[in-house]
């Protein structure tokens, strides 16, 4: 799918684009499929099995960890697994009671931003999921569980995503460097450019 082909405007141009028409709105970013050169679900599943059914997707912010986690969850749900998704918000040292209750019956737990949990919160999470068949987390750094996949980005990947959302944009290399590989922030910059569309 190639999106809106309008050229991005120069900074300072009066805006008329509404949020719902912006090709870089969050709804569309959430719709982008995970992709990475050489990525293979079979290899990822094999690494998970080898790690005893629990492991981590690792990478800095805006590198596709959550997208991969959601897609993995969807695959297992489609296969009939009872899954639970939890996310530790920024600065959330422990899961809240509602999140903890949800873990009890799950066959597979997908925990996003597990690095946010403090030492006590992490130990508690491990205790609550002791008998869970599959536990997959995302973290910024390796260490909490065996690393199953290290998410990487590149200017080529950014260009591919931008093409899908909007059409060609010239400065993807500089954009990628400016945001140190954080694709979410790079695409948010393009959101701001697009809303100034004349």
Q: Which is nearer to another protein, 24 or 176 (CB)?
A: 24
Residue of 27, 42, 97, 105 interacting with another protein (CB under 8 A): 27
Instruction: Please identify, among the stretches 13-21, 65-73, 99-107, 172-180, the one whose residues bind another protein according to the rule CB under 8 A.
Output: 13-21
Within positions 29 to 48, which residues make up the interface with another protein, using CB under 8 A?
Answer: 30
Residues 6+ apart with CB under 8 A from 82: 105, 106, 107, 108
Q: Phi and psi for 147 in degrees, rounded to 5?
A: -75, 120
Bridge-based pairing of strands 54-58 and 147-150 is parallel
Q: Which is nearer to another protein, 15 or 41 (CB)?
A: 15
- Residue 18 touches another protein, criterion: CB under 8 A: yes
- Residue 6 touches another protein, criterion: CB under 8 A: no
Q: How far apart are CA 157 and CA 139, in angstroms?
A: 21
- Residue 170 touches another protein, criterion: CB under 8 A: no
Q: How far apart are CA 188 and CA 190, in angstroms?
A: 5
| CB distance 162 to 187 below 8 Å | yes
- Residue 51 touches another protein, criterion: CB under 8 A: no
- Residue 87 touches another protein, criterion: CB under 8 A: no
């Amino acid at each position: 799918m190639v999106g809106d082909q309008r050229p991005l405007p120069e900074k300072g141009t009066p805006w008329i684009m509404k949020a719902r028409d912006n090709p870089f709105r969050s709804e569309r970013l959430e719709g982008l499929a995970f992709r990475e050169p050489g990525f293979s679900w079979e290899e990822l599943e094999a690494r998970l099995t080898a790690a005893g059914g629990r492991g981590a997707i690792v990478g800095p912010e805006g590198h596709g960890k959550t997208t991969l986690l959601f897609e993995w969850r969807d695959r297992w749900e489609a296969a009939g697994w009872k899954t639970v998704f939890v996310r530790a918000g920024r600065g959330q040292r422990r899961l809240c009671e509602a999140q903890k209750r949800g873990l009890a019956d799950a066959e597979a737990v997908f925990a996003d931003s597990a690095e946010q949990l403090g030492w006590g919160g992490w130990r508690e999470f491990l205790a609550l999921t002791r008998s869970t068949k599959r536990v997959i987390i995302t973290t910024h750094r390796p260490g909490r569980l065996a690393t199953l996949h290290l998410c990487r980005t590149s200017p080529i990947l950014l260009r591919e995503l931008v093409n899908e959302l909007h059409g060609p944009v010239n400065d993807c290399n500089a954009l990628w460097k400016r945001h140190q590989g954080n694709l979410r922030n790079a695409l948010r910059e393009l959101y701001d450019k697009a809303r100034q569309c004349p």
